[in-house]
Structure 1
């Protein structure tokens, strides 16, 4: 029977790791507060490491731990672990994303109450011997509208608790279905509408390129007077400079922040502002949360080392060397299709269907499915999505998926088609790998195209008419954007058509706005595969 060694490098709840401590196959050593050099001296024969936020796991440490299979972060963030090095050496990095759900939810409500009743300022003045009741007149939460951006587990938890205060809930989340919103008594709104209607706003999204600064100058300019903002999610979702400007200009009433763009924060203008309540990233800092995350990573370490079952990996281990060589190019095209599909959709899908045709259908295509789904989810769920946790996260978002396999080839030796559906639209993409030419997207919503996925792509749905392509070329030329290749797909003369362009540069917002104004252009979508 295998025996595994586990090294705990940061203070962890002993109750949380008791499954490891009591397991006959595991030897657990707790050795905290070590420097890198001290860790290097002892780490050589450990199969798993457990850390929180204090210890940094470097490439040197990973190299020295010869039998190392798992690095576990008893929490959510993994900034203190060299993910690239772990992946390079085939080490799985896991975290515990669900363990702090209740703690973060409750801290959000605590921050809302502290902000609206000015508790920190009143406490400070009274503790200094000043009794000043008149200075602290709060507002009630009852009857107010709470806007929530990001309605995952924490966002839903906040919504349920806020309703007990008699609040109305409005929310935005690209994966929030109408049915789920109705069941939770949540009104779905776009972000600019939330700004106009919300008395309170709380954010609960990952920090991604799409969410960075999502609450910024434009949001504050539209905000309802008296708005109060809470962030217990990730620093950077709220633009701190714009927040200070909005507070000083009287556009909003106050903010409560547990997370910051840079931590530990040294922004004294922010930390000392009289209308801001701050805490030092305490969202997950409860006894219960720390025990839950320890239990979570302990159980998953056992599952990985004994059963090869992985749920919360934040990196993708190197692919099995035994993967069919003919399948490898389709992993690339499936990944690119995921990136293209989500950028062509106005909203994320509620249903996904993947169809494999030809010889491809005879292989194990699960790696292709996971590659597609992980790249489709990343823009909204962040870089923690990978081929290991993709289907788990897809299910968590309430998205159904189906895989079909057919011998029919559609004129190609192998053909992959994906169909994405939501309540407003359907998108179909077809792709193949052509001998001597590589991967190609060959179908978009019934239009036959032939486009090689490259960094900058532009797709234009339009009415086919004389001169329309010349107008497009003139506009792109005006902004110094060079066309590398162009494909035109159409069904009938003078009917609907699809332009697919490979470009050498990104199309800026001003150029995109000018393109969409061209007569006959119905939809202009830029896709970035960088």
Structure 2
């Protein structure tokens, strides 16, 4: 695990542990002369937590404590929040960032445990172990009822072959299953290294006897096993989900189970948790567990020890490890570097949102004064932005590791000479299997990042939370029709930037809007004769 160093922070900080961490983890704080208050039940009492949070420099939590914007408003001394685990859904990260609070997690501590749970569910599903156990203990001895299937020689389809998915694949190969994987970020070289066949989603659905999911929940992965995709699977397929609720359309899965198209399903996660009721409950071919993927003593101990070490390092020395909201930036360089961190992440995010094919490489070129800065943090920000549209849990510390593990080549080029008309320019190119997409930007004197080039076409566009990117032909009538479509839909324009390659040639527009643009409106824009493509992007 790499460690990045920033400016020291005054000694003798005070940490509150408001969820159940192990005594060994708490002892780490004590051994390093940090005052620690271990109150594992406090996280569940919002009012009591709010009353005392102002006394602490650090807050160590699991999932029970909800760190809201309101709570952060009371946290006048807080410098760091440490989440023992991967998910930070219970932390208002933007609010923490606005207050300058570092949010750390432990993204790699649960990988083996979660993978083993998926393998365990695969065995339980294949041999109907839970139902057979209940029947036998009820004295029925229904030997002929529980006819199972062998796993040896079956094809396992892994959707998402990152940290957890790769471990599942490794274990499955050892069990003599054939493993195929769908993952837009998995390079052919990495697939060969871990011993899987890389395929597209449609091929995986058609070939797999068992499908296991190991992707984060994003706009692109939500209901990746929809009714339509479930219908494309092989009859008799078995489904396993130990990743996130919402990856599978639960109602559609129930219908597929009822029809017999899906032979069985094992789920550790659900759309609504705690799952008190669910469309899948009660089906004889369904196994359900209460989000136990990370629930082993080893995993819980590992992440607790990791988060204690990370927080202690930061509070005593300023070292940042696995921060989800901040790169390594010293106090001296922060004022100059922070705007470029924002620029790199936004440029990377823009290109990442346009890229659907697997990414092979990311090239960041620094021109002018920015080339002399701490570009390691800037490159991490750019890679984070490019990967986050699919891997939401990636952060500025873990992004380089994730890119390396997936075989994505990250190149950094520095040119300290002139940067055309600007003092500093950052150029990012994302090379995917279908094509390379590129954009450039700079930071003006007001400290705000701007896009100055897209696809080699000069443009001047500020970033906004909601934007539309349009590729079009430079012909009369586009602007009027474009504005009319948005106006008729009640969508107000913020900024409107355009650029063209040459008179009558290729052109681009980067437009901010005040509201979400519906799919119907996007189709209406694409129907404009001059428009080649329109994509909504978010920042």
TM-score by length of 1: 0.85
> Shift of the alpha carbon at 1:162?
0.8
> Shift of the alpha carbon at 1:198?
1.0
User: Cα–Cα, structure 1 residues 233 and 470, in superposed 2: closer, same or farther, change >3 Å?
Assistant: same
Say whether residues 1:76 and 2:86 are aligned partners. yes
> Shift of the alpha carbon at 1:298?
1.7
Name the count of aligned residue pairs.
521
Say whether residues 1:194 and 2:213 are aligned partners. no
User: Cα–Cα, structure 1 residues 19 and 436, in superposed 2: closer, same or farther, change >3 Å?
Assistant: closer
Looking at structure 1, the residues matched to 92 and 75 of structure 2 have their Cα atoms a distance apart, in angstroms, of 14
Specify which of 357, 360, 372 is matched with residue 367 of structure 2.
Answer: 357
User: Cα–Cα, structure 1 residues 61 and 179, in superposed 2: closer, same or farther, change >3 Å?
Assistant: same
> Shift of the alpha carbon at 1:229?
0.5
Post-superposition CA distance 1:435-483 (Å, at most 9, x none): 8998653433334445554533233377x8xxx7769987996795789
> Shift of the alpha carbon at 1:209?
1.6
Specify which of 30, 37, 47 is matched with residue 38 of structure 2.
Answer: 30
Looking at structure 2, the residues matched to 452 and 58 of structure 1 have their Cα atoms a distance apart, in angstroms, of 30
Check conservation: 2:155, 2:208, Cα contact below 8 A. Answer: yes
Looking at structure 1, the residues matched to 533 and 71 of structure 2 have their Cα atoms a distance apart, in angstroms, of 49
Query: Which stretch shows the higher mean deviation, 453-462 or 302-311?
Result: 453-462
Looking at structure 2, the residues matched to 189 and 487 of structure 1 have their Cα atoms a distance apart, in angstroms, of 38
Residue number in structure 1 paired with 2:6: none
SS at match of 1:102: helix
Specify which of 424, 427, 431 is matched with residue 414 of structure 1.
Answer: 424
> Shift of the alpha carbon at 1:430?
2.4
Post-superposition CA distance 1:493-518 (Å, at most 9, x none): 7xx73443537576665676788799
Unaligned runs of 5+ in 2: 1-9
Say whether residues 1:224 and 2:224 are aligned partners. no
Residues 278-289 of structure 1 aligned to structure 2 (within 5 Å) = 278-289=288-299
Say whether residues 1:374 and 2:395 are aligned partners. no
Residue number in structure 2 paired with 1:261: 271
User: Cα–Cα, structure 1 residues 498 and 215, in superposed 2: closer, same or farther, change >3 Å?
Assistant: same
Check conservation: 2:324, 2:396, Cα contact below 8 A. Answer: no
Residue number in structure 1 paired with 2:468: 457
Check conservation: 2:437, 2:455, Cα contact below 8 A. Answer: yes
Residues 239-250 of structure 1 aligned to structure 2 (within 5 Å) = 239-250=249-260
Residue number in structure 2 paired with 1:529: 538
Looking at structure 1, the residues matched to 300 and 19 of structure 2 have their Cα atoms a distance apart, in angstroms, of 12
Check conservation: 2:11, 2:315, Cα contact below 8 A. Answer: no
User: Cα–Cα, structure 1 residues 230 and 487, in superposed 2: closer, same or farther, change >3 Å?
Assistant: same
SS at match of 1:271: coil
Looking at structure 1, the residues matched to 499 and 13 of structure 2 have their Cα atoms a distance apart, in angstroms, of 59
> Shift of the alpha carbon at 1:107?
0.4
TM-score by length of 2: 0.84
Looking at structure 2, the residues matched to 323 and 439 of structure 1 have their Cα atoms a distance apart, in angstroms, of 17
Residues 163-182 of structure 1 aligned to structure 2 (within 5 Å) = 163-182=173-192
Say whether residues 1:2 and 2:29 are aligned partners. no
User: Cα–Cα, structure 1 residues 8 and 439, in superposed 2: closer, same or farther, change >3 Å?
Assistant: closer
> Shift of the alpha carbon at 1:105?
0.7
Bigger RCO of structures 1 and 2 (CA < 8 A, at least 6 apart): 2
User: Cα–Cα, structure 1 residues 471 and 70, in superposed 2: closer, same or farther, change >3 Å?
Assistant: closer
Post-superposition CA distance 1:168-206 (Å, at most 9, x none): 111111211110101222111121221111111111111
Residue number in structure 1 paired with 2:101: 91
> Shift of the alpha carbon at 1:402?
1.2
Task: Report the aligned-residue RMSD.
Answer: 3.6
> Shift of the alpha carbon at 1:146?
0.8
Say whether residues 1:490 and 2:498 are aligned partners. no
User: Cα–Cα, structure 1 residues 490 and 239, in superposed 2: closer, same or farther, change >3 Å?
Assistant: same
Residue number in structure 2 paired with 1:53: 63
User: Cα–Cα, structure 1 residues 193 and 511, in superposed 2: closer, same or farther, change >3 Å?
Assistant: farther
Residue number in structure 1 paired with 2:7: none
Looking at structure 1, the residues matched to 316 and 289 of structure 2 have their Cα atoms a distance apart, in angstroms, of 40
Post-superposition CA distance 1:345-374 (Å, at most 9, x none): 342533222222234434445554444333
Check conservation: 2:86, 2:107, Cα contact below 8 A. Answer: yes
Check conservation: 1:475, 1:515, Cα contact below 8 A. Answer: yes
User: Cα–Cα, structure 1 residues 516 and 189, in superposed 2: closer, same or farther, change >3 Å?
Assistant: farther
